[in-house]
Amino acid sequence: LIGVFDSGYGGLTILRELEKLLPEYDFLYLGDNARSPYGGRSYETIHRYTLEAVKALFDHGCPLVILACNTASARALRTIQQKDLPGLNPQNRVLGIIRPCVEKLGEYSLSGHVGILGTEGTVNSLSYPIELKNLQPGLTVAQEACPMWVPLVENMELKGSGTRYFVRKHIDRILNSDPLIDTLVMACTHYPLLENIIAANTPKSIKLVSQGPLVAESLKDYLSRHPEMDEKLSKLGKRRFLTTESLENFEEKASYFYGKTLNASHIELS
Ligand code: DGL
């Protein structure tokens, strides 16, 4: 069983892509909807919440957990990998979604100038610039926090004029900050739902990068390089969904992110 964690619904856009590439694997999704969004929360809070979720997924039999959330990957992954995991279960693994994306960015940009669109938590953590400096030192990076985008998606405001206003505001701002940018990363799991409106407000010459397919390719590659982990993962094509929110609130909106209907169970984290 592969655990997939997100603060709420957004990780379902990543799970969709994982399933496409790895349909035979079993996945257990956990959304901490009762406490989302994480985007504006402190480092300590995001770490504590994410660690609780990782422990719950381990307890449900997931030896491998993907933090399918940029904010959690940015704020909690390193501490969990380095400080928490050795004392919890050193054989288990927790992976994030920032590195798989950063590793591929060099292939997209011709100008060598890329822009990162994310939540305040992701942007303020500087995780993308730091990882890019290590892995793609030739790239110049600009960042833009788009704090209104997650609430707009959560409120299903995909077509409203307010959404157009806030999309254009941040796209204009990041492109004005560096006119050489030719690649924009939608570095938040909610943003694929805004892809059409982002594309409509971005010059055609600029590539928009969606993370899901990159994360899926990276996971497939990871599993081929780690047969000892792959052997532990059940492969019956099953999906299960857990949420910290009440079920009637979760299932309808979750289907909108996941692209098909789903049934979930409630879980309390502590
Ligand atoms: N899923 C989060 C991300 O990818 C955004 C939602 C939140 O702020 O909790 O950054």
Nearest CA-CA partner of 68 in 40, 45, 101, 44: 101
Evaluate: CB of 8 within 6 angstroms of ligand 1. Answer: yes
* Residue found by looking up tokens 């590539």 in the block: 207
- From the CA of 38, give the closest atom in ligand 1: 9
82 Cα–ligand 1 center, Å:
22
Stretch 61-81: mean pLDDT: 96
Stretch 176-188: mean pLDDT: 97
> What is the model's pLDDT at position 38?
92
Evaluate: CB of 37 within 6 angstroms of ligand 1. Answer: yes
User: CA of 228: how far to CAs of 43, 120, 222, 225, in Å?
Assistant: 33, 37, 11, 9
> What is the model's pLDDT at position 270?
83
10 Cα–ligand 1 center, Å:
7
Evaluate: CB of 39 within 6 angstroms of ligand 1. Answer: yes
Strand ranges in the chain using DSSP code E only, listed in sequence order:
2-6, 27-31, 64-67, 93-95, 113-118, 140-145, 183-186, 207-210, 239-243, 265-266
pLDDT digits (tens, 9 = 90+) for 7-45: 999 999 999 999 999 999 999 999 999 999 998 899 999
Question: Is 69 considered catalytic here?
Answer: yes
Question: Is 188 considered catalytic here?
Answer: yes
- Predicted confidence band of residue 106 (pLDDT cuts 50, 70, 90): confident
What residue's CA is closest to ligand 1, atom 1? Answer: 69
